[in-house]
Structure 1
Amino acid sequence: MQLPGPTLNRFLARLALAGLTLALGACVTETSGPRQPSKPDYRAAARTNTQLGLAYASQGRLDVAEAKLKKAIEQDDGIAQAHAGLGYVYWQRGETDGAQSEYRRAISLDGDDPEIRNNYGVFLCDQKKYDEGDRNFMLAVKNRDYSTPAKAWTNAGTCARQAGDLERSESNFRRALQLDPDYFPALSEMAVSEYQQQNYLSARAFLERYQKAGPQTPQVLLLGFKTETALGNDDAAHQYSLKLIRSFPESEEAAQLLKLRSAP
């Protein structure tokens, strides 16, 4: 599986939801005398535009997100999340130079933010800069205030797998599950690792745990079909195939399944 893109989207969505009670405009201060026009609060406006931009980015509305995030930076260049969000927008468009520049700016403003470190690490691994990506994941998990270190450990595991270090990859996934036994991205990644090593019973066990904790996805359903087929359990394999075809008929995984089933 690829690095979990939904991790980034959840990060953006969570930032967008934080502090939505901030005023959209400048506040008016009450005085004992005649009301005086308030001065524009550019920082508050920048925070609001950052929240809006991150929300649009999480919805895939990249053009609107870019406009809001650029406006936020114009109003206050010191908001690290605005630069990180703009880096994400550029990344999704394939504008890697712009993404790199914005992520670095975000790090320079708030290098202690574990979410920014985590998401920068995902970007770096996507660019095959595995060692640098891993360094950012480790900086994230060392932050004692980080509320979801299992996420960074899982991303570090996927990054290590892409780098060809399967031992480190599995160690990172297991560390994530030590911290959060029900963290379903790590469960699915462990199932992938065990299947690739032909440890099919172990892969089944992780898939069963995943079914209790995570949503159905075409990737997991196809893996379930392959695992049960390898174990010779035709009934269970058939159930996985039915769920995949019925729930995700247009998916790439459904097409792969049809090819597997038609193979001699």
Structure 2
Amino acid sequence: MKVRRVSILGVLSLLFLAGCQQAGVRPDGSSPDMVDNTGRFGQSSRTGAGDVYVKLAVAYMREGHLDVALQKVKQALAVEPTNAEAHNVIALLYERLDEPDLAEKHFNRSLKLDPKNSYVLNAYASYLCKQQRFEEADKTFLKALDNPLYQTPEVALTNAGICASRNNDLEKAESYLRRALTHNGNFPLALIQMAQLSFQIGENLSSRAYLQRFLERSKPTAASLWLGIQNERVLGDRNAVSSYSLMLKNNFPDSREVQLLRELERQ
């Protein structure tokens, strides 16, 4: 039964991972928001009384209809108050709706019902990091990673790396991200984060390599192209700067990164 619960907790990660990849690294160099990147949400064959509503909530969330998603997950909890997955989903929804107290209440309820669920632990740790409760977040990520049955440890490791970076602990961030890539060398979020981190600490050739690996496995984003422009300017490769600039202007003409590029070109 637990394996099935793991898979339903995974679909949401596809939504959040996509959002994070679109955000990539921000123009100001900060990390993207923490996300519940679990990799499998919504694919469970579990058939509890509330699970139909949970799946509907996830579907509406993927479409951005948070109000309807909230209604559906409340229906799930009405018919099955002990559905740990429903508590996790509603916690994520409340987090997105800027209701941190309600989010934490339901994260805690989900973990009380299923205390070793690495997918929920990862989501809760990400929430704690957003609240700048960095020490609690790090301990919670480690709890998620302590489960040998956790099938996507690169996700929690990457989120832990992002959190450490937010806390200005770049050494710990690099350690987590390298561990993530040891588990899955093609994980796009870890690759783009390593590209950004390498740029921050002045390892420009490494930043180039990680960004190239990211672009081989994921569609370019405005932020990733802007990172490439900045990095190649440092390395002195004018052709690469021109190539990234052209891609940025053609693919993301209304982005903030294009505005920054135009300002840079006027200098």
Fold agreement, TM-score > 0.5? yes
Give the partner amino acid of 1:83.
H
1:208 maps to 2:234: no
Q: Give the structure-2-normalised TM-score.
A: 0.85
Query: 2: CA distance between counterparts of 1:105 and 1:58?
Result: 23
Query: 1: CA distance between counterparts of 2:176 and 2:246?
Result: 33
Query: 1: CA distance between counterparts of 2:44 and 2:221?
Result: 28
1:101 maps to 2:127: no
Match of 2:87 in 1: 83
Deviation for aligned residue 1:254 = 2.0
1:145 maps to 2:149: yes
Which of 175, 178, 185 is the equivalent residue of 1:174?
A: 178
Deviation for aligned residue 1:48 = 0.6
Q: Is the 8 A contact 1:121 1:134 kept in 2?
A: yes
Deviation for aligned residue 1:114 = 0.8
Match of 1:16 in 2: 42
Match of 1:72 in 2: 76
1:62 maps to 2:66: yes
Q: Is the 8 A contact 1:57 1:85 kept in 2?
A: no
Query: 2: CA distance between counterparts of 1:75 and 1:225?
Result: 53
Give the partner amino acid of 1:51.
K
Q: Is the 8 A contact 1:4 1:155 kept in 2?
A: no
Match of 2:192 in 1: 188
Larger radius of gyration: 1
Query: 2: CA distance between counterparts of 1:249 and 1:147?
Result: 39
Question: In the TM superposition, what whole-angstrom CA distance separates every residue of 1:187-246 from its partner, at most 9, and x where no partner exists?
Answer: 111111110111111111111111222221111111011111111111101111111111
Q: Is the 8 A contact 2:33 2:130 kept in 1?
A: no
**Structure with more relative contact order (C-alpha pairs < 8 Å, separation 6 or more):** 2
Give the partner amino acid of 1:16.
G
Q: Is the 8 A contact 2:88 2:106 kept in 1?
A: yes
Match of 2:22 in 1: none
* Percent pairwise identity: 34
Q: Is the 8 A contact 2:186 2:217 kept in 1?
A: yes
Give the partner amino acid of 1:241.
S
Match of 1:129 in 2: 133
Count of aligned positions: 238
Q: Which runs of 5+ in 2 are unaligned?
A: 1-24, 26-30
Q: Which runs of 5+ in 1 are unaligned?
A: 23-42
Q: Secondary structure at the match of 2:115?
A: coil
Query: 2: CA distance between counterparts of 1:256 and 1:93?
Result: 30
Q: Is the 8 A contact 1:170 1:193 kept in 2?
A: yes
Query: 1: CA distance between counterparts of 2:139 and 2:62?
Result: 25
Q: Is the 8 A contact 1:154 1:176 kept in 2?
A: yes
Which of 143, 156, 159 is the equivalent residue of 1:155?
A: 159
Q: Give the structure-1-normalised TM-score.
A: 0.86
Which of 86, 92, 96 is the equivalent residue of 1:92?
A: 96
1:198 maps to 2:202: yes
Deviation for aligned residue 1:15 = 2.3
Q: Secondary structure at the match of 2:230?
A: helix
